[in-house]
Amino acid sequence: MHVRRGTPADRPFMMGLAGRLAGVADFPWRTPAELEAFQHAFMTEALARPDTLTLVAEEADGGPLLGFAAMEPHPDDITGGPGGYLSLLAVTQAAEGRGVARALVAAAEETARQQGWQVLALDVFATNARGRRFYDSLGFRAETLRLVKPLPPAEG
């Protein structure tokens, strides 16, 4: 396996992983259709930004694509210093457990350093326990936590 810069030709592959990204969220107050629509819209917007950098993992022999990461410049929320945001990370089901996500994050970190970024931030669904353990194992730590309370419709 190797990681390379993504190209516009990789976009259909990336968008094809929207369902996998939406599928790790488990919120009783959200329908699968809402989560899928959110993920598709989020990915469409993130991948359309001109400053988004994409990385793609593929089999070394030019075989199938295995996963991708997308990142963009984003100042450090605390200091305002140079930083980046890892907006997307997904691997195919067949690539799970093969170190593909770890290789993509390592490549993202190296790219971030080359950009002069001092931090790399990301968001992960709170119910994605596997993802949270993975990011924790790579040294990512929580700085903020967004809490959501579903509200019943207003009466009257």
Arithmetic mean of pLDDT, 27-49: 94
pTM, to two decimals = 0.92
Helical (H) or strand (E) element with 140: none
Q: List, for residues 112-137, the tens digit of each pLDDT value.
A: 999 999 999 999 999 999 999 999 99
- Domain chopping of the chain, boundaries: 2-137
Q: How many CB atoms lie within 10 A of CB 30?
A: 14
Q: Which residues are bridge partners to 88 per DSSP?
A: 70
- Rounded Cα distance, 136 and 95, in Å: 20
- Rounded Cα distance, 71 and 83, in Å: 10
- Rg, Å, the chain Cα set: 16
Bridge-based pairing of strands 53-58 and 65-73 is antiparallel
Residue 156 has pLDDT above 80, yes or no: no
- Rounded Cα distance, 37 and 72, in Å: 22
Q: List, for residues 64-117, the tens digit of each pLDDT value.
A: 999 999 999 999 999 999 999 999 999 999 999 999 999 999 999 999 999 999
| SS3 at position 42 | helix
- Rounded Cα distance, 87 and 123, in Å: 7
73 close to 83: Cβ distance less than 8 angstroms:
yes
2-137: CATH class: alpha beta
